[in-house]
Each structure stands twice: as structure tokens, then as C-alpha cells.
């Protein structure tokens, strides 16, 4: 990386650095449009080595102050430096300049389209390694080599190819509740005639909004919150949500997270073709005996653990982003953020979190023909959940979020089978114990604010966050 020093101009709120492509990147008056241009500059600077990672992280901190970051979390430092991405981004910038298309939507598209996943073939060796990772995402090279009867170096090279060609990422779900943070998800429909951009702005300015999604293809959207000191603040939050509901939304459905999980089944991909799970159409039949051996992994929300410290929280935030990262790499990443942890401290904290069952690793990837994305809100009783979980646990890739109200499911399916999977979900509405099914079609998993982003203005001591209860009132951020 380059040696450019970070110079911040407090009056302009900028970190100055240069890239060889600055003549392609204008300065705009619209802060939301400028948000994506700044992200492009940071990424191009990293690719060219004219900006160090330390400087890039400082620049990203300024991006996080822009309300657009909440609606569309964009962090170019988390994207691998890749020549193909760089060239695509430059081509897109030249197109914007040619037609003078410097609106927020066009710049945002230019940024996102540079990272569109291309369908890359996968070798039998890489597919075998991916299959092993689905069962144990953090398995060691030695253990994986013993299973597959190949050298550890072969596994390491396969992992590099999977990351480069198939966008393999090993992430981790974290039990936020152990740190007195409650995850709440709200599905909604907006009242007719209201300006969605104003509503989006309000959610973006609310300090506890973690993610937000509403597509133009459906009336249904969702927003996820992560708010502190749940027992102390739940009444305040619930009351303010009710006040917002009366003036903004036709429909709201609140899910207080109780469990979460993710599972994948790449063994369904054979001979360059995806197979449907065996007897998919029979899985939800009430008279079919449940197979307890096929229950997908679940992370419980175990509740506040006052013995955990802020250091445990900080390390867990890094493990969440890369569950296979070595302690030395986590230590290095934290050092770039001005946080001093040596490898031994990271190892000890990781073991503590694992022993308390606060982490659940999972993988994401891109394989040929796995092109359709769905999100479903299923409201149901507790008796229905095991059968639904067992069923979705056999899909190619699924993530699930559970509450006392039901299950939210994100899934990737082959394009040729999207009708079968969609009909399976819609058929749930006719099952006893299922109250409703709300679909959001053709969406991909989008990023969200990180744990450190959400809590960087708070301190944590003895299981409590320093937060003003008035800040929990969401209606004060809405312009209605």
C-alpha cells in the first residue's frame, strides 16, 4: 500500500488523498451522490496503492457519517483488491462522464455493477472443498485434507480460487443479546401517497438502524434495528414504533430475535446442474415424521452475560466478518482501527466466545445458475417452526431469523427451480399453525452496519450501554 498520509480538513469533513483517476471523479453538491463517488475513489486508491489501508479506514469513517450509509452500507475496504473489479469500475466511470450521468442512482449503479458476480465454473476439487466447508466453515487445512485425502496445500490453493472466482466468504453470526443488544426486525408496507425517500431518511438517521430494504418490485419492506439495554428500553421503543405506525405504515410486523442460523447444501450441485432436494414437495406434509438429524444449525439468543467485556465485543465484531481469520490477522485489522490487541488476547477471547456458544460460522458463495433470491416473512406458531426449519435447511443456501412471531428466511435458489421454491413457501399459508407469508422477490443479501458502527458512540460497562433513553424514540427522527 502507498504511504500517503491522511489529512483531514475539519471544515469540509474530508480525508485527502489522490488517485490516478481523479479527473474522472467530480465533486457534487448532492451528498448522497457524492457518497458513492467517494467509495469509488477509496477503492481505486487501494487498487493503485496510492492510499494506505489506514487512510482508507479513516475515509470510510466519514462515509459512515452520511445517512446514505445506513440505507446502503458501503465499505470499499472490505472488498478484495481485484484487477477485474477495478477495470469494470473505470469503464463505468467513463460511461458516466460520457453521458454526464452523475445522479445518485446512476453512480450507485456504476459502483455496484462493478462487483456483480460473474458465473464462474468450479472444478471438482474446489466443489469438494466447498462441500466440506458447508459442514464445518472453520475446519483446519489439515483436517480438511484428511477428509478429502489431499495435501493441505491443495486445500489452501482451492480456498484461494474459491475466494477469487466464486466469492467464497466465511462469516459468523454473533449472539448480540449476550452484550445486551436486542435485534428487532420490522416488516412493513407504507401508507399510500407518502414519500418513501423521507421515510428512508428517517430510518437512516435513527442511530440504531442496522439494515433497511425496500424494492420497487413489492410493497413490502423491512428494517432491522439493534438497540441497547433491551429490558430498560423495550417499552420506550414499542411505544414510539406504535406512534410511527399510525402515521406512516399500513402494516407492521415486529420480530424480536430469539434464534438465527444459516446453512448451505452444495451437494445438490452435480454435473453443472442443481438438483431439487429429495421429495421437496412432501417436506411440509403434516403426517411426515420429522428427521431430527437434518435440523439446521441454530444460534440461540442466550441473554445478557455481564461478565463479558468491551474487548470481547470488539473481537467478536471482527470474527463476524471473517470467521477463518487467524488471530494475527484479526489483531492486525484491529490495529488499523487504532485498537490494540495482540494475537494471544484474540485467541483467548475467541475461545471464550466459542465456549459460551456465542458464535455460529457460515459460508456464502456464488455457484453457476444459483441466480434467484427470495426473502419470506412467515408468521407462525411454535409448533410449525421445526418442520419449516427442517425444510429450508435442505435448500442450496438459506439464512433464517427466528422470533416468537415466526421465521424470516433469505434463500438463494437456481433460476430454473425458482417457481418450485416459491410455490413451496406460498403453500405454507394453507398449513395449520401458519398465519401469513409475505414475500420479497429477487433480492440479494445486502450488507448492514457493523457492530462497531452501531456502538462507536457508546461505552459498555458491566452489561450496560451508555445511551440516552430519549434516543430510542424512533418517531422523533421521522418527518411526519
What is the tens place of the pLDDT at every residue in 245-283? 888 999 999 999 999 999 999 999 998 899 998 877 676
The pTM score is: 0.82
- What are the DSSP calls for 404-468, one per residue? TTEEEEEEEE-GGGHHHHHHHHHHGGGSTTEEEEEEEES--------HHHHHTT--EETTEE---
> What residues are paired with 409 via a beta bridge?
376, 400
88-102, 146-160, 393-407: range with lowest mean pLDDT: 88-102
Domain assignments of the chain as residue spans, ordered by start: 7-113, 124-165, 168-305+356-480, 306-355
Helices and strands of the chain, counted as H and E runs: 16, 17
pLDDT in the model for residue 258: 97
pLDDT in the model for residue 177: 97
Spatial CA neighbour of 270 closest among 364, 396, 398, 156: 396
pLDDT in the model for residue 214: 83
Please tell me what DSSP assigns to residue 271: T
Separation in Å, CA 415 to CA 364, 423, 464: 18, 14, 46
Contacts of 450 (CB under 8 A, 6+ apart): 73, 317, 320, 321
pLDDT in the model for residue 6: 37
What is the tens place of the pLDDT at every residue in 432-466? 899 999 988 655 555 678 888 889 889 999 999 99
Percent of the chain's residues with pLDDT above 70: 93
Separation in Å, CA 300 to CA 126, 181, 312, 340, 353: 32, 14, 18, 30, 13
Cα distance between residue 211 and residue 4, in whole Å: 33
Contact 59, 42 (CB under 8 A): yes
Cα distance between residue 162 and residue 366, in whole Å: 9
Cβ burial 145-170 (10 Å sphere, 16+ → b, else e): beebeeeeebbeebbebbeebbbbbb
pLDDT in the model for residue 137: 97
Task: Find the length of the chain.
Answer: 480
Amino acid at each position: 500500500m502507498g504511504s500517503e498520509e491522511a489529512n483531514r480538513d475539519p471544515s469540509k469533513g474530508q480525508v485527502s488523498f489522490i488517485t490516478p483517476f481523479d479527473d474522472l471523479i467530480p465533486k457534487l453538491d448532492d451528498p448522497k451522490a457524492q457518497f458513492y463517488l467517494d467509495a469509488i475513489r477509496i477503492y481505486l486508491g487501494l487498487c493503485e496503492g496510492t492510499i494506505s489501508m489506514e487512510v482508507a479506514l479513516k475515509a470510510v469513517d466519514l462515509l459512515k457519517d452520511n445517512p446514505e450509509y445506513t440505507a446502503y452500507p458501503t465499505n470499499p475496504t472490505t472488498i478484495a483488491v481485484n484487477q477485474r473489479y477495478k477495470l469494470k469500475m473505470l469503464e463505468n466511470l467513463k460511461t458516466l462522464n460520457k453521458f454526464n450521468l452523475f445522479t445518485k442512482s446512476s453512480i450507485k449503479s456504476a459502483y455496484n455493477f462493478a462487483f456483480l458476480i460473474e458465473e464462474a465454473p468450479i472444478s471438482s476439487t474446489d466443489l469438494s472443498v466447498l462441500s466440506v466447508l458447508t459442514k464445518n466453515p472453520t475446519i483446519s487445512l489439515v483436517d480438511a485434507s484428511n477428509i478429502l485425502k489431499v495435501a493441505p496445500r491443495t486445500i489452501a490453493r482451492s480456498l484461494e480460487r474459491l475466494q477469487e472466482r466464486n466469492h467464497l466468504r466465511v462469516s459468523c453470526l454473533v449472539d448480540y443479546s449476550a452484550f445486551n443488544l436486542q435485534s428487532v426486525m420490522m416488516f412493513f408496507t407504507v401508507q399510500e401517497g407518502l414519500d418513501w425517500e423521507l421515510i428512508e431518511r428517517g430510518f437512516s438517521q435513527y442511530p440504531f438502524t442496522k439494515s433497511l430494504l425496500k424494492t420497487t418490485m413489492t410493497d413490502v419492506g423491512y428494517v432491522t434495528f439493534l438497540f441497547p439495554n433491551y429490558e430498560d428500553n423495550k417499552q420506550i421503543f414499542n411505544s414510539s414504533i406504535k406512534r410511527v405506525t399510525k402515521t406512516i405504515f399500513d402494516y407492521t410486523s415486529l420480530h424480536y430475535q430469539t434464534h438465527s442460523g444459516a446453512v448451505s447444501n452444495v451437494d445438490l450441485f452435480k454435473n453443472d446442474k442443481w438438483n431439487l432436494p429429495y421429495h421437496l414437495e412432501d417436506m411440509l406434509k403434516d403426517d411426515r415424521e420429522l428427521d431430527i438429524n437434518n435440523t439446521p444449525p441454530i444460534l440461540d439468543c442466550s441473554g445478557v452475560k455481564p461478565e463479558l467485556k468491551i474487548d470481547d465485543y470488539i473481537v467478536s465484531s471482527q470474527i463476524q466478518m471473517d470467521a477463518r481469520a487467524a488471530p494475527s490477522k484479526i489483531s492486525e485489522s484491529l490495529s488499523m482501527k487504532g485498537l490494540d490487541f495482540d494475537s494471544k488476547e484474540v485467541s483467548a477471547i475467541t475461545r471464550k466466545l466459542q465456549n459460551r456458544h456465542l458464535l455460529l460460522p457460515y459460508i456464502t458463495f456464488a455457484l453457476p445458475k444459483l441466480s434467484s433470491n427470495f426473502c419470506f416473512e412467515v408468521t407462525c406458531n411454535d409448533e410449525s417452526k421445526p418442520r419449516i426449519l427442517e425444510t429450508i435447511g435442505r435448500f442450496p443456501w438459506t439464512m433464517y431469523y427466528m422470533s416468537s412471531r415466526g421465521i424470516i428466511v433469505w434463500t438463494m435458489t437456481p433460476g430454473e427451480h425458482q417457481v418450485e421454491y416459491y410455490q413451496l413457501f406460498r403453500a405454507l399459508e394453507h398449513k395449520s399453525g401458519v398465519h401469513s407469508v409475505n414475500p420479497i422477490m429477487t433480492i440479494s443479501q445486502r450488507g448492514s452496519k457493523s457492530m462497531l458502527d452501531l456502538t462507536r458512540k457508546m461505552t459498555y460497562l458491566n452489561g450496560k450501554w451508555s445511551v440516552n433513553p430519549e434516543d430510542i424514540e424512533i418517531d422523533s427522527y421521522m418527518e411526519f
